[in-house]
Structure 1
Amino acid sequence: MRREDEECDEEVQVRRNKKSIAVAMMCQPIEEQPQWGSFIAGRSYKPRNKAMSHANLMNNYFNPNSVYTEEDFRRRFRMRHHFFERLLRDVQQVNSYFRQKLDRAGRPGFSPHQKVTIALRMMAYGSPADSMDETHGMPESTCLDTIQKFCDTIVQVHKDEYLCEPNQEDLNRLLRKAEDHGFPGMIGSLDCMHWDWKNCLTGWQEGFSGRSRKPTVVLEEVASYDT
């Protein structure tokens, strides 16, 4: 009888120990895995040849006798070559992120041309960040950082000139220019376009669909003659 009681006490103690261990594990803080950047167990390392990607980009668009013409550059970058060079120079002067640095392995990181190109391509084509990894060899997390830093830097550099309200001198200049073209009293022209909204919520698609039967967003802009 005593032996049965001892076995029963041992079984109760084992159950208590298991319960204590489970409660302790539940109460321990869970270490959050970083979403981007740091190494995570189970995630494979992807070797990327940044130097080769940079050389291909330069050979395609920026070197003398490049593969693609100036017309190709303007269509794909949505701007002329000299304007790209101006943006490249401005962002490097203001934000050190766009200057080439060494990575943790001591090798050259992504070049300024690569970073600005990827930011412009994502905006011009609406390309997702992970597609840049396949075409330009830049990880998704780096692409997202790049486009955010690019937009913040452009606003910082050009807000005083392009994001300010027009003063009286500007209005007089625009009125004179419009009058010379036969439009007295006009300071700008209105234009609009329908932009396909491919990520429109299902419940909203009917309200945003017109004759094309696809959800679209109407973008309107008032522009002066020099923009």
Structure 2
Amino acid sequence: MSGTLYLIPVPLGPGQPADALHPNILATIRPLTHFVVEQAKSARAFLKAAGTDHPLQELVLEELNEHTRAVDIERLLAPLRAGHDVGLLSEAGCPAVADPGANLVALAQHEGIRVVPLVGPSSLLLALMASGLNGQHFAFHGYLPAKEAERRKALSDLESESRKRLQTQLFIETPYRNRALFEAILQTCQPSTRLCVATDLTLPGESVRTRRIAEWKKQTPPDFERRPTVFLLLA
């Protein structure tokens, strides 16, 4: 029989795993010996803090990230096929959501391997919960284009779609470009459109603010320089 692929959530920032994860999740992690991770170094640090029944040097960690070739992903199923349970880790938050681990999950599902998602922090859902925007109808778009003209067109299209469908639009940016994206939103979107900026979710500096574009233009910009941020808008 094949093993089980456990989708293991990781805290969204510094801190002890026990502060963000239920004890049952930590108990599931400890006996595992095989993991698929984005970066081995940070994964080892997480597993050391979370606790493991095995010496760290005996754990088998295979990397799956944006540099992994599609032809190399299938071999990551080998431990599962051999009957070993495997833990899939993201760098932060829930694996397989805006995360390259989704490719491994797709292959596991195709082969009929059991996939078990474990409960943990998701910046996207936490931001949506706290935004006050439409939580019944929403869409996540990942990263918007970095070039200014393309980014403004993408924002205009998202705003139009939001107005047409009453749909909350969620997107993110590389933290050092947060301000450029924020300014593009203010310059592109209509004054009545609501924008939520959710920064450092679950961390000591957490901030979630929702304002209309017209109101944002009158206020001091959020303090989100180089800090993980989710943007949400509803026209």
TM-score (norm 2): 0.20
Bigger radius of gyration among the two: 1
More helix as a share of residues: 1
More strand as a share of residues: 2
TM-score (norm 1): 0.21
